[in-house]
Structure 1
C-alpha cells in the first residue's frame, strides 16, 4: 500500500452491552476504551468500533448476496489483516468455538487478488468479515 490508511470509525447496534463487550474483548481480543452504560469504544485492529445498546428488534430480516456459491450477509464489516495474522485468528476463533457463517477459505487461489476470508456473527447478529490478501498491493487490483 502506498499511503498509511487512516483508522475508520464505525458504530454498531448491540442488544446486550455486557455479552457484546465480552465477545469483542475475549473472543476478538479488542481492547476496550471509553464507555458508558449504553456504549463501549473498542480498538478494533487499529480502528474504532463502538457498540451502542439498541433493544432487540422483533423484525430482523437477513439479506444475503451470492458470492462463490456462498450466502454473504449484507450488511457486514470487518478488517483486512496480514496473511499470517488472519490464519492465526481463524485458528483462535475455531478454538473458541465461534460458529462461522462462512468457514475460512481462499478466494482467487493463484490469481490476482488471492485472498483468505471468513464470516461470523457477533452476539447481537452483526455480521463480520475478516480477510487477508496474499499480496496486499493487490487490494484494489482488477
Structure 2
C-alpha cells in the first residue's frame, strides 16, 4: 500500500511514517515509479510503535523490542524482559510522583498558613527552612 493509504488507515501523518522509516523502525519497498510501498504488517507495527510510545517507551527501546525488519519472529524473552523493565521504571516513577505530590501539598499548606502581607523574603525563607527540615533523614 502507498503511504497515503497507510496514513489514512493508521491516522498518522505521512511525515511521521517517513520518520519511523528513516530511524529504522519500519521498512518499505520502492516501486518502479519510485513511490514507497508498505506491507500490511507495517500497519500493525505502526500501531505497536504508537501504543508503546503512549506507554512511555522511547523509540530506541521500541527498536530493541521489535523483530528485525523483514522478520516476523519476535524474541519472546527479550520482549518480556523489556516490558518488565519498563514496568519497574513506571512503578519507580509512580513512587516519585507520590512523593512529589505530598511535597507540593505540604508547601501549599505551609504557604496557606502564612498571613498575607509581610516580607516576601522572610516568608519564603521560612517555607524553605521547613522543606529543608522535612528533607533531612531521620535518625
TM-score range, shorter chain: under 0.3
TM-score, with length taken from structure 1: 0.22
TM-score, with length taken from structure 2: 0.23
Q: Relative contact order (alpha carbons < 8 A, sep ≥ 6): 1 or 2 greater? A: 1
